[in-house]
Amino acid sequence: METATAPRRVEHQQTDKGYVPVYTTAVVEQPWESYSADDHATWSTLYQRQRELLEGRASREFLQAQDEMGMNAHMIPRFDQLNEVLGAATGWTLVGVEGLLPELDFFDHLANRRFPVTWWIRRPDQIDYIAEPDMFHDLFGHVPLLMNPVFADYMAAYGRGGVKAHAIGPEALQHLTRLYWYTVEFGLINTPEGLRIYGAGIVSSKGESLYSLESAAPNRIGFDLERIMRTKYRIDTFQKTYFVIDSYEQLMEATSPDFTPIYAALEAQEHLPAGDVQDGDRVFQKGTGEGWADGGDV
């Protein structure tokens, strides 16, 4: 009965340009009552599995924030309930969306401390891999660190920076996007206990949680703003390089200068392959490159 009236997610469309998302910019109410038993079971399975894996692997701040927000394996959280805790902590609000947003809409949400969360969760047969962000990636992966005041400010500053880069042009935007990719999505942090994960793309993936920390294949290199902005990345496989911050404060400080002159200077510089190690890199590990596909860096 309930499923008949449940909102339907907008499917992506096959066109002559390939598989493209249908962008819908509207903010939607989370249809919590319409989640099926399968949906809740998918959340439970993933939540339990990742939490177990991430003890001792994810940043302490990340794990603590999940607990503080009241996320758990029982059922899919209600955005409204998370918002009470999150709003009180850092002034951020979760808003439900259909899926990926056009860049400028996304930046505008972030700049105003609204984090867009996909309202639907992957199907049971997509537990291990889904090509596009779903609720598990957005909520489990991105939302916890919004409880951290420094990281919360970083995300809002990124949104304002995105609006600015969008106005400057596509190259500026490409450079800024790489910063998001190598920090918010695939970042590692150095702690007294060793390297830990904070990137949402890693914490929401079983395979990459293990690979990013424990495999000998990828490079692990100290955070360097311009180095990151020059570095291509992978969207179809695990990353060839992970960048390591020393603290969330370092991330905030390093990104606070006006990027306008940096974008201008970078136009004269070559883009670096995803797997390169450069003179001057602070190398935590030089990867063996085992299993890397040729080509495909974007």
Residue owning tokens 């947003």: 101
Q: Would you say 26 and 10 are in contact if contact means Cβ atoms under 8 Å apart?
A: no
- From the list 15-23, 53-61, 62-70, 150-158, the region that binds ligand PHE by CB under 6 A is 150-158
Per-residue mark of binding to ligand PHE, 205-244 (x: CB under 6 A): ----------------------------------------
Pairwise CA distance, residues 153 & 211, whole Å: 29
Pairwise CA distance, residues 229 & 257, whole Å: 14
**What tokens does 293 get?**
């596909």
Catalytic residue among 59, 204, 209, 212: 204
**For residues 47 and 136, which CB has a smaller minimum distance to Fe ion in the complex?**
136
Number of residues that bind ligand PHE (CB under 6 A): 11
Q: What beta strand segments (E) does 192-237 contain? A: 194-197, 219-222
- Contact status: 150 vs ligand PHE (CB under 6 A): no
Binder of residue 275, out of Fe ion, ligand PHE, none (CB less than 5 to 8 A by kind) = none
Give the count of beta carbons closer than 10 Å to the beta carbon of residue 68. Answer: 13
Is 271 known to be catalytic? no
Is 142 known to be catalytic? yes
Pairwise CA distance, residues 229 & 267, whole Å: 11
Is 137 known to be catalytic? yes
- From the list 26-34, 91-99, 155-163, 186-194, the region that binds ligand PHE by CB under 6 A is 155-163
* DSSP annotation of 132: S
Binder of residue 187, out of Fe ion, ligand PHE, none (CB less than 5 to 8 A by kind) = none
- Contact status: 36 vs ligand PHE (CB under 6 A): no
Per-residue mark of binding to ligand PHE, 254-273 (x: CB under 6 A): -xxxxx--------------
- Contact status: 104 vs ligand PHE (CB under 6 A): no
Q: What angle do CA 232, 238, 242 make, to 5 degrees?
A: 60
Catalytic residue among 59, 61, 109, 142: 142
- Contact status: 154 vs ligand PHE (CB under 6 A): yes
Q: Is residue 124 classed exposed, middle or buried when 0-12, 13-18 and 19+ CB atoms within 10 A define those classes? A: exposed
Distances (CA, A) of 196 to 59, 107, 188, 209: 5, 27, 6, 10
Q: Would you say 242 and 219 are in contact if contact means Cβ atoms under 8 Å apart?
A: yes
User: In angstroms, what is the minimal distance from the CB of 140 to ligand PHE?
Assistant: 23
Length of the chain: 298
Give the count of beta carbons closer than 10 Å to the beta carbon of residue 40. Answer: 15
Catalytic residue among 137, 175, 205, 209: 137
| 157-186 binders of ligand PHE (CB under 6 A) | 157-158, 161, 164, 179
- Contact status: 248 vs ligand PHE (CB under 6 A): no
User: In angstroms, what is the minimal distance from the CB of 138 to Fe ion?
Assistant: 7
Q: Contact residues for ligand PHE (CB under 6 A)?
A: 154, 157-158, 161, 164, 179, 255-259
Catalytic residue list: 137, 142, 185, 204
